[in-house]
Amino acid sequence: MAERATGGGERRAPDVVNAHQHGSGTQVVASSIGVVNIGAGRPPQDELAASVLLRRRDEQAQLGIRDRRRIQVRWTPPDDEQLATDHPELVWGDGPARDLTGNLDEIAEVYERIPTGRLVVLGRAGSGKSMLGAQFVLRWLEKRSAGAPVSEIFSLGSWNPAEVELAHWLSDQLSRDRPWLAAAHPDGGMTLAERLVSERLVLPVLDGFDEIPEGLRDDARKKLSATWLPYVLTSRYDEYRKAVEDTTGLQGAAVVVLADLPPDDSVRYLRFSSPQGAAAGWDTVLADMRDNPEGPLRKALSTPLMVALAAAVHGERGTSGPETLLDSAEFPTPERLERHLLTAFLPSVYRRPSQARRARRWLAHLADDLRRRETPTPDLAWWELGTTLPLRQRTAVIAFLAGLSFAVVTAVGNIPVDLVATSHGLGFALRRGLVVGTLHGLLLGAACGFIYHRASGNDALKPSPIEITLRRDAGRRLREGLSSRIAVGSLVALAGAVAIVAVDRSVVPWLGLDDGLGGGLVSAAQLPLIFGLGTGLVLAVTAWLEAPVDVDRSASCVDLLRMNRRNVHAHIAVWALVFGFIAWFGGSFTETPLRSLQLGLVFGIEGAFGGGLGYGLCLTAWGQWIALARIWLPLTGRLPWRLVAFLEDACERRALRRAGAVYQFRHARLQDHLAENPGTQPRP
């Protein structure tokens, strides 16, 4: 989707803000898309708002942002004029600048004071930027009127501004997290997600400008200035200042800076996070922070992140009291104290030492995996786990698993045939089954490896925004380019079958294992025809069964994983039924009823484990996940066998967090610390 850049003084964002503030304006903004009703007769923006609000409330409850004990974040306008680079007239219009000071509960109201609808929130690492973004989304949605724009958080670390326009990236993120938005709009030409973005019915909270690689930040700055969209942008102070230095900055953006926590606020949270009997121990910490305003304790415990870590490590679940933090010999600098809290966090939430060591090793691998991506990202997507392994290694794993499954089924299927139809005996049947299974497995494994190698990195290995279902759906339509896919798939299957026939007619007899059941030229021609026709029919049937995902389907990591797993299982079932039917139907003209039934069963099982499972492994996100994240990485000790349970448990312990269809580390500081210090253990 092409960006519609606005000129220097042109501002379209106020329409969105005014639409939210004044109910009548909303209908003008939403009119062109509001006719699309989904679910219970509501337009897609209202369905999206309900979905986001429900998930954000659950996340806020888990993180304690609405807890009465929570840390109160405050902000002020920046002292450095370099940060507010745009001309005041282009931010405030003809009126005077408005007061932007406030606290966490007032973020939505402060945003509404900005005519341009663009707010930049700056702060140092751990100062509460992500917390503020989450609170903004919740406050905005709670006061939102029907049809008004929907606010949602987007992690900028996964955006490559040099290659992808902001609007296109936003719509892709929406479709990823909520597959039902990938359905085509009735007007054609756009998906529902693209239409929502283009109609300015999405108010994005762009979290983590500093997580964009440094070489791409200037491209990001230019595109953020040129876009017609309103937004809330968060960034670390130093990285943003460097990006806008000696430039026009972000056009029309008002800037605020998060303030350090005062000692009383920090200790208040720490006291409330500890049992009543131990809360008094924090009084000595407060006294030290008041007496030594330049001391390491005062500086380290001035951000919400460090205060929360201190509560976890030395509060209710800690193994040592608050007095540990007063050891000036052990912690002479704020950096040493922060490093201690980051290192001791995991042992404080994983009680048993052995459990903590394993969790640290696995989380460190995940952190390092994110850092080694071609474009570093905070998004821990299940379908991308293991993709930092060399492509040759991944291809070998996929090829081996696909070949192994087909080899076992072929070998087991050949043994009873030779026992019943020939007089060569059990030893011959076992030898021939082993050889034929191995040869067929090698051929299929090589084919699946080649297909995976060619498909690696494209959309085929991303979660599919559709489901395979038998229900009738008005939104069901055949996939674009289906005819070419059927043609290519049929030709590949035909070539593979020819190779199998060639091996069976040349290599197997050469090894002295010919059982005399191969038949003549007619039989030799049947197998390629069955494979080619069957593959084309399978692709056609599965395309017909595909339908847009229901709007009421949740967009969590686990739900998206389950949906893609069901799709692969459905593919395997279709392969089995189609190949079994073709073999039975064809055999009924030349074989006895019992023999044709046997052919149908054999071809159905081999179609499921050869074609279906092979397709799933080399051309689906779930197959790549199974091969790499569920088999290879646990086998090599880099991840646990029960990976999903571990990730969900890490979220409950607040080491990770759920962000739509992906996971993220609780904070970038924790992710960086684990990636740089995978083997570091806290002192006893």
Of 258, 282, 307, which residue constitutes the final position of a domain?
258
Residue with token string 């139809």 = 421
What's the pLDDT at 123? 92
**Taking the mean position of all CA atoms in its chain, how far away is CA 148?**
27
**pLDDT exceeds 90 at position 231:** yes
What's the pLDDT at 277? 63
Would 281 be classed as within a structural domain? yes
Residues 469 and 613 in one domain: yes
**pLDDT exceeds 60 at position 7:** no
Would 678 be classed as within a structural domain? no
Question: Which comes out higher in pLDDT, residue 476 or 302?
Answer: 302
Residues 237 and 329 in one domain: no
What is the bridge-based pairing of β-strands 231-236 and 254-258? unpaired
* Count of all residues that appear for the chain in the document: 684
Structure tokens at 357: 């060591």
Of 233, 258, 283, which residue constitutes the final position of a domain?
258
Taking residues 140-158, report their average pLDDT. Answer: 90
What's the pLDDT at 17? 39
What's the pLDDT at 391? 92
Sheet holding 254-258, edge to edge: 102-103, 74-76, 254-258, 118-123, 231-236, 202-207, 150-155
**pLDDT exceeds 70 at position 635:** yes
Residues 174 and 277 in one domain: no
Look up the pTM and report it.
Answer: 0.80
Question: Which comes out higher in pLDDT, residue 563 or 527?
Answer: 563
Structure tokens at 337: 């104290």
Who's near 669: CB < 8 A, 6+ residues apart?
Answer: 125, 126, 305, 338, 342
pLDDT band for position 439 (cuts 50, 70, 90): very high
The pLDDT mean for the chain works out to: 81
Q: Quick one: which H or E segment has residue 150?
A: strand 150-155
The Cα–Cα gap between 117 and 230 comes to: 5
3-state secondary structure of 205: strand
Which residue segment(s) compose the domain that 328 sits in?
Answer: 263-349
Of 317, 349, 381, which residue constitutes the final position of a domain?
349
- Cα angle for residues 134, 139, 144 (degrees, 5° grid): 125
Phi, then psi, of 472 in degrees rounded to 5: -80, 140
Question: Which comes out higher in pLDDT, residue 679 or 631?
Answer: 631
What's the pLDDT at 315? 78
- Contact between 364 and 675 under an 8 Å Cβ cutoff? The reply is yes
Residues 465 and 558 in one domain: yes
How buried is residue 535: exposed, middle or buried, by Cβ count under 10 Å (0-12/13-18/19+)?
Answer: buried
Taking residues 173-188, report their average pLDDT. Answer: 80
What's the pLDDT at 481? 58
What is the percent of the chain where pLDDT is above 70?
A: 85
Sign of CA dihedral 342, 346, 352, 357: negative
Q: 178-192, 290-304, 364-378, 670-684: which has the minimum mean pLDDT? A: 670-684
**pLDDT exceeds 50 at position 114:** yes
Residues 294 and 179 in one domain: no
Who's near 488: CB < 8 A, 6+ residues apart?
Answer: none
Total Cβ atoms within 10 A of residue 440: 24
Residues 405 and 339 in one domain: no
**pLDDT exceeds 90 at position 121:** yes
E strands in 286-397:
none
Residues 249 and 309 in one domain: no
**pLDDT exceeds 70 at position 333:** yes
Closest to 120 (Cα-Cα) out of 320, 257, 307: 257
Taking residues 401-424, report their average pLDDT. Answer: 82
Question: Which comes out higher in pLDDT, residue 220 or 508?
Answer: 220
Question: Which comes out higher in pLDDT, residue 328 or 519?
Answer: 328
- Contact between 286 and 267 under an 8 Å Cβ cutoff? The reply is yes
- Contact between 630 and 397 under an 8 Å Cβ cutoff? The reply is no
pLDDT band for position 610 (cuts 50, 70, 90): confident
Closest to 204 (Cα-Cα) out of 231, 166, 172, 173: 231
| 191, β-bridge pairs | 184
The Cα–Cα gap between 508 and 521 comes to: 17
Would 525 be classed as within a structural domain? yes
Per residue in 553-564, pLDDT tens? 556 788 888 888
Taking residues 273-294, report their average pLDDT. Answer: 81
What is the percent of the chain where pLDDT is above 90?
A: 23
**pLDDT exceeds 90 at position 513:** no
Would 552 be classed as within a structural domain? yes
What's the pLDDT at 479? 55
Structure tokens at 250: 């972000």
**Taking the mean position of all CA atoms in its chain, how far away is CA 608?**
29
Would 496 be classed as within a structural domain? yes
Question: Which comes out higher in pLDDT, residue 96 or 156?
Answer: 156
Q: Count the domains in the chain.
A: 3
Would 379 be classed as within a structural domain? no
Total Cβ atoms within 10 A of residue 562: 14
Residues 344 and 401 in one domain: no
Residues 195 and 305 in one domain: no
Q: 309-313, 478-482, 491-495: which has the minimum mean pLDDT? A: 478-482
What is the bridge-based pairing of β-strands 74-76 and 254-258? antiparallel
What's the pLDDT at 529? 79
Residues 115 and 24 in one domain: yes
Q: 113-127, 225-239, 629-643, 656-670: which has the minimum mean pLDDT? A: 656-670
Residues 74 and 223 in one domain: yes
Highest average pLDDT, of 542-551, 595-604, 616-625, comes from: 616-625
The domain that contains 127 carries what CATH number? 3.40.50
3-state secondary structure of 233: strand
CA distances from 84 to 88, 121, 261 (A): 8, 11, 23
What's the pLDDT at 62? 61
Would 399 be classed as within a structural domain? yes
Per residue in 8-30, pLDDT tens? 333 333 343 333 333 333 333 33
The Cα–Cα gap between 367 and 365 comes to: 5
The maximal CA–CA distance of the chain, rounded, in angstroms, is: 99
Total Cβ atoms within 10 A of residue 11: 20
Would 644 be classed as within a structural domain? no
Residue with token string 């909520």 = 178
Residues 107 and 19 in one domain: yes
